């Protein structure tokens, strides 16, 4: 594939087929992503790669945490606090998840992107149940056979976050080039304990993001192409 085809061909995939990703293909993608630049070549990231049974188990544990926390949200206030304290559904993320409102400009973009996605899915904005069900699909990785959890060393502060982001984009482009699909998933950073149950995460490493990987289905959700900002919005004007 040529570069533009790969770049434009990558889209967040939210419906995966059950076709397995061969382990040599997965390793090729990871090897290619390792060509990414990083601050002083520190490469301060590590991946927990869940496939097969482990992928299924982590998915169902995350889903039950999501369902439990959703139930708690719907309770009246005093009960909500009590349930939150006594349940194991409280977020145990390494970074504070952005669950509330974004700054106005980004909230606007977020809503527009979400609205476009729900339109493609035929979900009405007022249909909270259907929106919750769609959100829940995040936690079983949209049925992807591979879930990748990205950890960084916080000793590298902000450069580790940048490096991990660049690495993830390389991984996503490499996967696209091989006919696979990906979805970066911040939602997979909300609960860390299900991943700790299955992987020996080195001390000090922090979970920053997840990523679903697999073969895309023909589902219309995978054709969704949200708008990107234009050059005027991108460039900071001169004084
Ligand atoms: C750091 C990061 C976190 C994301 N988290 C989620 C997520 O939790 N769930 C989801 O469906 N999409 C998630 N996305 C995908 C974005 O919604 C998507 O990249 C954006 O809407 C632009 O669409 P595109 O990837 O198809 O170009 C995330 C993307 C990034 C880069």
Confirm whether 222 is domain-assigned: no
Confirm whether 228 is domain-assigned: no
pLDDT at 1 over 70: no
Residue having the nearest C-alpha atom to atom 27 of ligand 1: 11
Confirm whether 231 is domain-assigned: no
Please give the distance, rounded to the nearest whole angstrom, from the Cα atom of residue 135 to the centre of ligand 1. Answer: 12
53-90, pLDDT tens digit by residue? 999 999 999 999 999 998 888 877 777 777 777 788 88
Q: In what order do the strands lie in the sheet with 181-185?
A: 45-51, 146-152, 206-214, 181-185
Confirm whether 232 is domain-assigned: no
For ligand 1, say whether the CB of 114 is within 6 Å of any of its atoms.
Answer: no
Confirm whether 168 is domain-assigned: yes
91-139, pLDDT tens digit by residue? 999 998 766 789 999 999 999 999 999 999 999 999 999 999 999 999 9
Confirm whether 30 is domain-assigned: yes
Percent of the chain topping pLDDT 70 = 99
Cα dihedral 215→138→159→50 (10° resolution): -60
180 burial (CB, 10 Å; 0-12 / 13-18 / 19+) is buried
Planar angle of CA 166, 169, 170, nearest 5 degrees: 90
Confirm whether 154 is domain-assigned: yes
* Residues shown for the chain: 239
Q: Which domain holds residue 27?
A: 3-217
Q: What share of the chain is helix, strand, coil (3-state, %, to 5)?
A: 55, 15, 35
Confirm whether 234 is domain-assigned: no
Residue having the nearest C-alpha atom to atom 17 of ligand 1: 12
Domain tally, the chain? 1
> Please, what sign has the CA dihedral across residues 136, 140, 141, 142?
negative
For ligand 1, say whether the CB of 123 is within 6 Å of any of its atoms.
Answer: no
Q: pTM to 2 decimals? A: 0.96
Q: What are phi and psi of 162, to 5 degrees?
A: -60, -50
Please give the distance, rounded to the nearest whole angstrom, from the Cα atom of residue 186 to the centre of ligand 1. Answer: 8
Q: Where residue 98 sits, what CATH number does that domain have?
A: 3.40.109.10
């Amino acid at each position: 594939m040529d570069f533009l085809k790969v770049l434009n061909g990558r889209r967040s995939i939210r419906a995966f087929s059950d076709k397995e990703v061969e382990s040599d293909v997965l390793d090729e993608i990871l090897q290619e992503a390792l060509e990414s630049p990083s601050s002083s070549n520190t490469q301060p990231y590590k991946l927990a790669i869940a496939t097969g049974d482990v992928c299924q188990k982590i998915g169902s544990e995350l889903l039950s945490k999501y369902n439990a926390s959703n139930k708690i949200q719907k309770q009246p206030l005093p009960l909500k606090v009590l349930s939150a304290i006594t349940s194991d559904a409280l977020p145990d993320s390494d970074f504070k998840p952005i669950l509330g409102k974004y700054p106005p400009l980004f909230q606007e973009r977020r809503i527009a992107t979400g609205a476009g996605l729900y339109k493609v899915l035929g979900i009405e904005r007022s249909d909270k149940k259907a929106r919750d069900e769609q959100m829940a699909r995040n936690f079983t990785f949209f049925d992807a056979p591979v879930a990748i959890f990205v950890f960084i060393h916080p000793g590298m502060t902000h450069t580790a976050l940048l490096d991990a982001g660049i690495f993830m984009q390389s991984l996503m482009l490499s996967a696209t080039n091989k006919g696979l699909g990906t979805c970066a998933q911040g939602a997979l950073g909300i609960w860390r304990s299900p991943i700790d149950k299955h992987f020996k995460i080195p001390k000090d490493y922090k979970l920053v993001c997840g990523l679903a990987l697999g073969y895309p289905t023909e589902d219309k959700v995978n054709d969704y192409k949200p708008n990107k900002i234009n050059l005027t919005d991108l460039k900071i004007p001169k004084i």
